[in-house]
Amino acid sequence: MKFRVERDALAEAVAWTAKSLPNRPSVPVLAGVMLRVTDGNLQVSGFDYEVSSQVTVEVQGDADGAALVSGRLLAEITKALPAKPVDIAAVGAHLELVCGSARFTLPTMPVEDYPTLPEMPESAGTVDAAAFAAAVAQVAVAAGRDETLPMMTGVRLELSGGTMAMLATDRYRLALREMEWNPDDPEISLNALVPARTLNDTAKALGPLGGHVTMALSSGGAGEGMIGFSGGTRRTTSRLLDGANYPPVRSLFPADHNAEARVAVATLIEVVKRVALVAERTTPVLLSFSSDGLVVEAGGTEEARASEAMEATFSGDPLTIGFNPQYLIDGLANLGAQFALLRFVDAFKPAVLSPAGEDGEVIPGYRYLIMPIRVSR
């Protein structure tokens, strides 16, 4: 194998592929990226039996072939190279990389020991890449991080005709995003539970490319099969999580509300960040709403306290409610709007954040539910 490639194209391809490689691979070859040159195209691939990623890059190919090298090491090297064309050749049990006056020799691993990447499942439809990336970011923030509860680490995709809904929860908050997409089958009705981290990384990588993302799903029950995404020269597949017993979380959204507040998102984020400086990790920030506006306060150890008042339009009986400050900030930061509408049943039931326009009307499509923390005052 021998080829020449532009530094930026190579660095970008290797970085994206290496990102999904396991930190502690079960077998050494899974820490590698596969470089395969065929007919002037370089395929950079990574696979850990759960997630596969592949990028195709145009190169000047002198000799077709394949080599398997450490993904993280190659990513660090290509990122640090000078902005010049890179010459790469497989020589015996090594890979030689030359860029300007920089020269690296890397050991290779046996190509024949590397597992075959899974085929892309059958296409289910397409969705606008930028809108998809923004929507996934809004939902993935609410997914759980606890690997002992794998179901909570996923984003539930609900495909129904031309509507795609995404839900994620870690039991303390719940995010729901609904958007339009272009299904291959207008009558489609499918649910899938996708690992949130994989979905977020993939959407983040495909979003800036513009155009459309093709979504592919293998048929089968929840927890069976795979999901695939492709856009531009990139494609990735992921094994689905078992979502057969996913709780009916939509029912958590209250049917009605007794109080409503409209606040400026950027201002409230700044106020919560400042006030939370005195709060301990498990200490909530208190939001007190009245016709006079909003007061945000928190208390910490050794009687450290903070409070700050800000403007808010409020309707309903005066209300004081406590939230985990980071969960509140996450919800506000992902609304994608200048104003937030907060709706409450009472101080002990979940509150719902929605993006709002300047007229105070809800912008449909996204809701973020957050559980309050009971406080004694």
Collapse the DSSP code of 371 into the 3-class scheme (helix H, G, I; strand E, B; otherwise coil) and give the result: coil
Task: List the one residue out of 11, 15, 339 whose CA is nearest residue 204.
Answer: 15
Can you tell me the mean pLDDT for 229-246? Answer: 93
Q: 169 CB contacts (<8 Å, ≥6 apart)? A: 142, 143, 144, 152, 175, 249
**pLDDT score of 224 more than 80:** no
Tokens read off for 277: 């400086």
CA distance 143 to 122: 27
Q: Which domains does the chain possess?
A: 2-109 (3.10.150.10), 123-250 (3.10.150.10), 253-370 (3.10.150.10)
Most confident of 107-111, 245-249, 302-306: 107-111
Collapse the DSSP code of 264 into the 3-class scheme (helix H, G, I; strand E, B; otherwise coil) and give the result: strand
Beta bridge partners of 296: 287, 308
Can you tell me the mean pLDDT for 297-322? Answer: 91
| pLDDT tens profile 203-223 | 999 998 889 999 999 865 444
| pLDDT tens profile 52-86 | 999 999 999 999 999 999 999 999 999 999 999 99
Angle, vertex CA 139, rays to CA 210 and CA 192, nearest 5 = 90
Percent of the chain with pLDDT strictly greater than 90? 87
Percent of the chain with pLDDT strictly greater than 70? 97
Average pLDDT, the chain: 93
Residue 282 neighbours by CB distance under 10 Å: 7
Tell which phi-psi region holds residue 119, choosing left (phi > 0), alpha (psi between -120 and 50) or beta. beta
Collapse the DSSP code of 346 into the 3-class scheme (helix H, G, I; strand E, B; otherwise coil) and give the result: coil
Task: List the one residue out of 131, 128, 152 whose CA is nearest residue 140.
Answer: 152
Angle, vertex CA 100, rays to CA 97 and CA 104, nearest 5 = 25
Q: How many residues does the chain have?
A: 377
- Which pLDDT belongs to residue 138? 97
CA distance 48 to 46: 7
- Which pLDDT belongs to residue 223? 43
**pLDDT score of 352 more than 60:** yes
pLDDT top residue among 278 and 353: 353
Owner of token pair 């296409």? 123
| pLDDT tens profile 79-127 | 999 999 999 999 999 999 999 999 999 999 999 999 999 999 999 999 9
Does residue 159 contact residue 190 with C-beta atoms inside 8 Å?
yes
Q: Strand (E) positions, 240-371?
A: 259-264, 285-290, 293-299, 305-310, 313-315, 319-323, 339-344, 351-356, 366-370
- Which pLDDT belongs to residue 303? 77
**pLDDT score of 293 more than 60:** yes
| pLDDT tens profile 122-174 | 999 999 999 999 999 999 999 999 988 999 999 999 999 999 999 999 999 99
Confidence (pTM)? 0.90
- Which pLDDT belongs to residue 304? 87
**pLDDT score of 278 more than 80:** yes
- Which pLDDT belongs to residue 288? 97
**pLDDT score of 376 more than 70:** no
- Which pLDDT belongs to residue 300? 67
